[in-house]
Structure 1
């Protein structure tokens, strides 16, 4: 697998995607309101874009404002989300683990925009958020 971010953005257009992974237990077991869970995803996605703002993929993603592509995946619980964050860090994949304050609860994470084929294999075990 090529190193994250190694896909060329010069020449043929690269389809970029921003993955957001949300803890599904917040909604289904811990009974958080839907709006609160959606807000966590928004926080993480915005933070990941901010942290990677100078990255060429992020710039391309933002330049194609009306064609942004996000995928929202579900992690079953905090342990799965934290494990994913560790795996992404080890693989050199830029992401933001969002920790809700002041409760100090990891709620979701978002990757910076990447070519789908670069990061999708690392997220294969996570299904679409329901």
Structure 2
């Protein structure tokens, strides 16, 4: 049993980078899917860059072939902004990506965290469709 427990323990502390994208950009505002994906990429890279020296970020990057991201959908700008405020109040490091020159918040990405640390703050958001 010790072997089984050892194999499962990394999953308990699995690092996850959450990306939350405004789903209305595609479904209501008719942005091209590729443009929306690029927004998520920008936010994810920015969050990694801003927190590059963080221990969890370094561990996440060291496990290059086992990176885990979860992409969630926020229904609109108000929900995305409210989430950013909630994360800030909870002390959760993230980057709210604001597309320029339009000055439009499009998505946000958290730095890598153990899933159990941040998932409760994101549970009202569903996987992006």
**Misfit runs of 4+, over 6 Å:** none
> Matched residues in 2 for 1:15 and 1:70: separation?
11
Q: CA deviation at 1:55?
A: 0.2
Q: CA deviation at 1:57?
A: 0.1
Number of residue-to-residue matches in the alignment: 119
> Matched residues in 2 for 1:27 and 1:15: separation?
30
Q: CA deviation at 1:91?
A: 0.2
Partner of 1:97: helix, strand, or coil? strand
Partner of 2:124: helix, strand, or coil? coil
Aligned to 2:40: 41
C-alpha RMSD over aligned residues: 0.7
TM-score (norm 2): 0.91
Larger Rg over CA atoms: 2
Partner of 1:93: helix, strand, or coil? coil
> Matched residues in 1 for 2:122 and 2:52: separation?
23
Q: How does 1:104-115 map to 2 (within 5 A)?
A: 104-115=103-114
Q: CA deviation at 1:35?
A: 0.3
Stretches of structure 2 that go unaligned for 5 or more consecutive residues are 1-8
> Matched residues in 1 for 2:67 and 2:50: separation?
18
Are positions 1:15 and 2:24 aligned together?
no
Q: How does 1:25-64 map to 2 (within 5 A)?
A: 25-64=24-63
Aligned to 1:82: 81
Are positions 1:125 and 2:109 aligned together?
no
Partner of 2:52: helix, strand, or coil? coil
Are positions 1:68 and 2:67 aligned together?
yes
Q: CA deviation at 1:124?
A: 0.4
TM-score (norm 1): 0.90
